[in-house]
Every structure is written in structure tokens, then in C-alpha cells.
Amino acid sequence: MIYNLDGIAIKLEKLKPGDMGEKPCIGVLDRSELLLWNSHLAIPERILEECLNGTVSKFESHDGFDYVNLLIPDKADLLGSSSSISIYFRTNLLIYICDDTQDYSLLHSIISRIEQKEIKNLTLERVLYEFFDLLTAGDSLFLENLEQEITELEESLFAKEKKDYIKEIILMKKKLLGLKRYYEQLFDLSEAMEENENELLTNSMIRYFHILTNRINRLSDSISNLRDYVSQVREAYQTEVDISQNRIMQLFTVITAIFLPLTLIVGWYGMNFPMPEYHWVYGYPAVIITCAAVSLLSIIYFKKHKWF
């Protein structure tokens, strides 16, 4: 739906395609509605195709209008598919295009704020800024929760119950990589908006976008720090695995060292030669006692040197 917007709008008037005038208009359309409205919006054919198929994040500044396509991840499912939203912005016209306007709560939130007069100095550029502001609202808390999740993962590495954490660590790295790409695209877009090539923004709004750019940059830095944290957790886990393997190998080495003298004795008496001990009545018990003594002395020696 497309609405007529004046500078101090208390109420938005729904427009029909034939009612398009010179007043500022804001639109929230799904991709099928865009085709119905385009004869009145006059979006260039190539940009129209981009709006209908937008699968790549980009910002383009053309003669008289700006075009944006964003891939926005679902924070509840960072490994799932991202939703695509396109923005067409020119003088007196701001259009949001997404797959299903009924499911995109952020756009409805903006319309609701406009209807309730929560946005002061209402202009199209202000509405555009409010969209990106809401897009990043609460992200600091979201990243804090991610950090807490990584901390809990790190603490569980040293719990008594051992399990393979590699899968969880890899999944976390994938989530952070997706967020890193997302904030990078937002940062590039906000910087491009600051350049204001088409002069669609006033100086005051450029300052707002500059603040937004700094905020996104801080969020991007936080993601980089979290990725470093996950790398440290993985190194700590790998170290713990190596230590466990070394303990196992050490145990096998001790066992081998204990039984090596016994193997020598077995080999000695296994030779096909007549030995005096064969004719000694206490020969067999003496060999048993010797083997037990050798094993006991080996265990005492290894214990004293803290081999196990």
C-alpha cells in the first residue's frame, strides 16, 4: 500500500494508483503489488527487475534516485535464509519492497509510529533513517547474549562430562560470519547515504546517518571481537583434546614399560635351551616372584617420577 505523507502527518491517507500527486509518498509493497503500481511509480526497467529478484546486497546511486537492496538475517535463526528488502528513494517518493509485507513487522512498526506521531519532523528522509535505526536497535544486547553463549560454551569445555564441541564451535563461527557480512553491507550502505550524491538528504539527516555509521562500525568491531573469542575457545578446546590424548598415550607408555621386562623374561625362558632353573624345585615360584617384583618396582619408579 502507498500512503500520502505531509510534513506533520497525523493520519496517512491510503492512495489508489490514479491518485499519485506531487506530495511526498511512502509505500510498503510486496513484489506482486510493485508490478501493479509501477506504471505510476516509473521505476526504470533494470531497477524494477532488481527489485523483483534482489538476491545481492547493494547500493546504487543513479540520476535522481537511490536504490538499495538488503539481505537481512533472522536473528532467531542466523543459519537460515535471509529476507530480502529493496528500497527505492527519490524526491517525494520512498518505496519499500519485500517478499511479504504481512510478515515484515519492521515496516509495519514504522507505519504505526508515523500514524501515532512518534516520529517528529516527519519527512521521507527521516522515515528512511528510522528504518535503519530500527534495523540496528537492540543489536548491542543481542551481541551480548551471543557473547554469553560463547562464554557458557567455553565453561562447558572443562566440565566433567566430555563431548565433541567442534560442531558447536563451527556453527557459532558460521553465525558470526553471517553477521559480519551483514554489518559490513550496512556500513557500506550508511557511508554511501552520507555521500548524498543525489542530494536527497538534508545536512541534519546526513549527521544522523553519520551517527548510524559509527554505531554500525562499533557493532562490526564487536563481531570481530566475538570471532576472535570463538577462535580462542577453539584453541582452548583443541589444547584440552591434545592434553587428553597425551594422557592416554602416557598411560599406554607406562603400561608398555611395566610389561617390557616381563616380555624379556618370557623371551629368555622361552628359548629352547636347557637351563639349571628347570631342574630346581623352586624355579617356577622364583620366576613368578621375580616378575611380580620387577612390575612392582617399575610402578613405584613411575609413580615417584609422576608418570601417572
Taking residue 267's Cβ as centre, other Cβ atoms within 10 Å add up to 9
Cα separation, 253 vs 82, in Å, equals 53
**Predicted local distance difference test score (pLDDT) of residue 10:** 40
Torsion sign, CA atoms 87, 89, 92, 93: negative
Q: Which residues contact 63 (CB under 8 A, 6 or more apart)?
A: 198
Res 280: pLDDT? 74
Interatomic CA distance for residues 143 and 223, integer angstroms: 8
d(CA 203, CA 194): 9
CA dihedral 125, 128, 133, 136 (to 10 degrees): -150
- DSSP string for residues in 74-104: BTTBTTSPPEEEEEEEETTEEEEEES-TTT-
Q: Model confidence at 112, in pLDDT bands (50, 70, 90)?
A: confident
Cβ-contact 33, 68 below 8 angstroms: no
Other CB atoms within 10 Å distance of the CB of residue 172: 22
* Greater model confidence, 208 or 39: 208
Helix, strand, or coil (residue 69):
strand
pLDDT(212) > 80 = yes
Least confident segment among 15-29, 201-215, 290-304: 15-29
pLDDT of residue 245: 77
Give the model confidence (pLDDT) of 160-202 as tens digits: 566 678 888 889 999 999 999 999 999 998 898 888 888 888 8
Averaged pLDDT of the chain = 81
H helix or E strand, kind and range, residue 3:
strand 2-4
Render pLDDT for 63-101 as a digit per residue (tens, 0 to 9).
Answer: 888 888 888 888 888 888 888 888 889 888 888 888 765
Alpha-carbon gap, residue 14 to 245, rounded angstroms: 70
Residue 66 near residue 58, CB atoms below 8 Å: no
- Confidence band (pLDDT; 50, 70, 90) for 20? low
pTM of the model: 0.74
8 CB burial (10 A radius; 0-12, 13-18, 19+): exposed
